[in-house]
Amino acid sequence: MAKTIQEREQTGEAVASVNTRRRFNFTPYLFILPHLIFFAIFVGYPFVSGLVYSTFQYNFLTPENNTFVGLNNYTNLFNTKSREFDLFWNSLGNTGIFMLYSVPALVIIPLLLAVLLNTKLPGRNIFRAIIFAPWVLSVSVISLLWFWIFQSNGGLVNVYAKALGIFGEDGPPRWLSTLPAAWIAITVATVWWTMGFNMIILLAALQDIPEQLYEAATIDGANTLQKFFRITLPLLQSVLVFVITITIIASFNLFGQSLFMTNNGPSRGTEPVMYRIYDEGFNRNAQGSAAAMSFVVALIMILVSYLNFRIFRKRDTSY
Amino acid sequence: MANSVQARPAARNSAFSYRGRTYFQRAILYLILTIIAIIVLIPMVWMFLTSIKPKNQLFTKDIQWWPATPTLDNYKTLINNPSTPIISWFTNSILIALIVTGLVLAVDSLAAYAYARMDFFGRDVLFKLLLFTLFLPGVLFLVPNFLIVNALGLRNNYLGVILPALAGVFGVFFMRQFFETIPKELEEAAHIDGANTFQTFWSIALPLAKPALATLGVITFLGSWNDFLWPLLILQDRSLQTLPIGLRSLQGSYTSEYGLMMAGAVVAAVPVLLLYIVLQRFIVASVASSGIKG
């Protein structure tokens, strides 16, 4: 049996000829196939079929009546006289209001928590674990829980608010059936549920900041606030943009909290756009219209996250 | 002056700073953190305590934290009422979450290994396609996937919940990143010893990937256990529903019976809280690493 590998390499006949003679290799395809099949059925195909459905008046219960309507499902959303117009923009506006409440709270509170926990304090991990714990619960659990806590009669918040007289003569608001109290209740529940998630991400980023920077600043006589605003915040910028973006996207997906806590009321006052799509598609059985709404909402989500990145990245270059 | 410069850091440090903290400042920091931890824990404690309260002790004038007569009646009522089949909900949730987790781990690590280690025609294009869909909002797939599941006859069927969960790309992406950190030499050695590609994957790469598999597994389990919108669409039979959907039925069945609602919530919360206590470091590590990409 003639030559060793080294000898073959020296003569140059080696690797190339082995490679060209190799038969077509199926193995990699066998590895990716199981995933690829499900991906094709439940991600690839629906991406296209969703677009197609959005051009139909579509009801899966009466397929014989499905008719092609072109862009009507889309133009209806921008036509003030259509049935969908008021409902759609009301719900989209509600999701926007929720965002105004929840996104700042879900960035500032986790940032402060992360700064507090970014120490070599013994027992730090226990506090971190406790603050993060609510995140592992289902939206149903946390919504039902806060539905009970914010009840006007017997709810924890109002019992203490009344006892302490926090809201004066008028008493505490009916949290779940008046605005803007309902938004505050939904926001409090959401912040309690997810603040730990953002905190963990920010804490990991804080721990990457070299301690020498703070030591140098201390020697230069910088105080705590100066260090926070001149060192911590600028170095956290890219992670903060990431956290803000995922929080905005999560806020777009508001669905369970308002369903459980306020039943989307009072009079659709907390009905989020995800519920509108759900209702349009599966209670009214207008799947075409719901698909069109999904594409519009998805486009807005992508646009908002893109703008978010653009705006904050620009600042990045200016200092 | 030189002395005062040296003295300043210790004196000026507060909760925001990073070293040389005095005992007093430590005590304050502990106090703040303890208050925060209590605020976070109170709702969960309240949920549990409400669930063991008899109905007539729910609306007392002064809050009664510990019930005068703790009872498991709420749990018994849920179990015995055929319109709130909480045991079926529980087993459905467990079954679906376990199957989804097992299949996701298998399907995703196989695919990830190929994308990480093998050279094949179309690999880069396919992987870029997968990555692209990672940025698409899930709402896009709600209507068309419902219609697909319906067309496959999988509505009111566990498979209608399980199969779409296998299409996710996060796991492939996550496992691929991990496989790329494993030194190639180990697998090459196995190859030279005559192992085929699958044997190398199974006996070399997978055992090394245990921490990543654990992380992906626990994240997948949590996601499946807690999923709300999709099972709400697909599982309409009460006996087929999962706990998060069951809680919605429960809220509809019992107006202002908060003891019963909280008992249901406790049943849905306890398994994931236990899982969290045991596997906390995997969960926290996976969240922490998600920010590094940003």
- Is B143 within 8 Å of A116 when comparing Cβ atoms? no
Burial class (CB in 10 A: 0-12, 13-18, 19+), B270: exposed
- Is A137 within 8 Å of B226 when comparing Cβ atoms? yes
Q: Of B135, B137, B290, which has the smallest distance from its Cβ to A201's Cβ?
A: B290
In chain B, the number of structural domains is 1
Domain assignment present for B22 = no
Task: Find out whether A140 and B244 touch, Cβ atoms under 8 Å.
Answer: yes
Shortest alpha-carbon distance between residue A11 and chain B (Å): 23
Domain assignment present for B111 = yes
CA gap B84, A280 in Å, rounded: 28
Task: From chain A, pick out residues whose CB is under 8 angstroms from the CB of B197.
Answer: 27, 31
Task: Find out whether B287 and A198 touch, Cβ atoms under 8 Å.
Answer: no
Q: Of A35, A41, A281, which has the smallest distance from its Cβ to B143's Cβ?
A: A281
The ipTM assigned to this model is 0.87
Tell me how many residue pairs between chain A and chain B have CB atoms under 8 A apart: 306
Burial class (CB in 10 A: 0-12, 13-18, 19+), B165: buried
Domain assignment present for A79 = no
Domain assignment present for A189 = yes
Domain assignment present for A11 = no
Helix (H) / strand (E) element for A68: namely: strand A67-68
Instruction: Confirm or reject contact between B231 and chain A (CB < 8 A).
Output: no
- Give the nearest chain A residue to B14 (CA atoms): A224
pLDDT given at position A154: 83
Q: Is the peptide bond before B207 cis (omega within 30 degrees of 0)?
A: no
- Is B43 within 8 Å of A192 when comparing Cβ atoms? yes
Domain assignment present for A130 = yes
Task: Find out whether B250 and B260 touch, Cβ atoms under 8 Å.
Answer: yes
- Give the nearest chain B residue to A53 (CA atoms): B144
Domain assignment present for B16 = no
Domain assignment present for B147 = yes
Burial class (CB in 10 A: 0-12, 13-18, 19+), B84: buried
Task: From chain B, pick out residues whose CB is under 8 angstroms from the CB of A134.
Answer: 40, 43-44
pLDDT given at position A16: 45
Instruction: Confirm or reject contact between B158 and chain A (CB < 8 A).
Output: no
- Give the nearest chain B residue to A138 (CA atoms): B226
Q: Of B62, B148, B269, which has the smallest distance from its Cβ to A46's Cβ?
A: B148
Total Cβ atoms within 10 A of residue B280: 17
Domain assignment present for B73 = no
| Token pair of B46 as six digits | 């309240």
B contact test, residue of A48, A148, A296, A303 with most B CBs within 10 A: A148
Q: Work out the widest C-alpha separation in chain B, in whole angstroms.
A: 82
Domain assignment present for A61 = no
Instruction: Confirm or reject contact between B252 and chain A (CB < 8 A).
Output: no
Percentage of chain B exceeding pLDDT 90: 66
Residue reference for tokens 């094709």: A40
Shortest alpha-carbon distance between residue A79 and chain B (Å): 22
pLDDT given at position A134: 96
CATH number at residue A242: 1.10.3720.10
Task: From chain B, pick out residues whose CB is under 8 angstroms from the CB of A154.
Answer: 58-59, 258
- Give the nearest chain A residue to B284 (CA atoms): A200
Q: Of B106, B110, B294, which has the smallest distance from its Cβ to A242's Cβ?
A: B294
Each residue's pLDDT expressed in tens, for chain A with a length of 319 residues: 444 555 555 554 444 444 555 567 888 999 999 999 999 999 999 999 999 999 999 999 988 889 999 999 999 999 999 889 999 999 999 999 999 999 999 999 999 999 999 887 888 889 999 999 999 999 999 999 999 999 988 889 988 888 888 887 778 889 999 999 999 999 999 999 999 999 999 999 998 888 888 889 889 888 888 888 988 898 998 899 999 999 999 999 999 999 999 999 899 999 999 999 999 999 999 999 999 999 999 999 999 988 988 887 655 443 3
- Is B248 within 8 Å of A260 when comparing Cβ atoms? yes
- Give the nearest chain B residue to A218 (CA atoms): B9
Coil, strand or helix at A26: coil
Q: Of B21, B33, B113, which has the smallest distance from its Cβ to A127's Cβ?
A: B33
Amino acid at A121: L
pLDDT given at position B292: 53
Domain assignment present for A19 = no
Q: Work out the widest C-alpha separation in chain A, in whole angstroms.
A: 102
Task: Find out whether B64 and B218 touch, Cβ atoms under 8 Å.
Answer: no
Instruction: Confirm or reject contact between B125 and chain A (CB < 8 A).
Output: no
Amino acid at B68: A
CA distances from B94 to B98, B228, B242 (A): 6, 14, 9
Domain assignment present for B103 = yes
Task: From chain A, pick out residues whose CB is under 8 angstroms from the CB of B13.
Answer: 224
Domain assignment present for A221 = yes
Domain assignment present for B87 = yes
Beta pairing partners, A56: A68
pLDDT, tens digit, 9 for 90 and up, residues B129-164? 999 998 889 999 999 999 999 999 999 999 999 999
| Token pair of B17 as six digits | 């700073």
Shortest alpha-carbon distance between residue B221 and chain A (Å): 10
Domain assignment present for A225 = yes
Task: From chain B, pick out residues whose CB is under 8 angstroms from the CB of A243.
Answer: 291, 294
pLDDT, tens digit, 9 for 90 and up, residues A48-93? 999 999 999 999 998 888 999 999 999 999 999 988 999 999 999 9
Instruction: Confirm or reject contact between B204 and chain A (CB < 8 A).
Output: no
CATH number at residue B287: 1.10.3720.10
A contact test, residue of B139, B251, B286 with most A CBs within 10 A: B139
Domain assignment present for B27 = no
| Token pair of A101 as six digits | 């409440």
Q: Which domain holds residue A174?
A: 87-318
- Is A144 within 8 Å of B251 when comparing Cβ atoms? yes
Q: Which domain holds residue B138?
A: 78-293
| Residue B11 pLDDT level (bands cut at 50, 70, 90) | very low
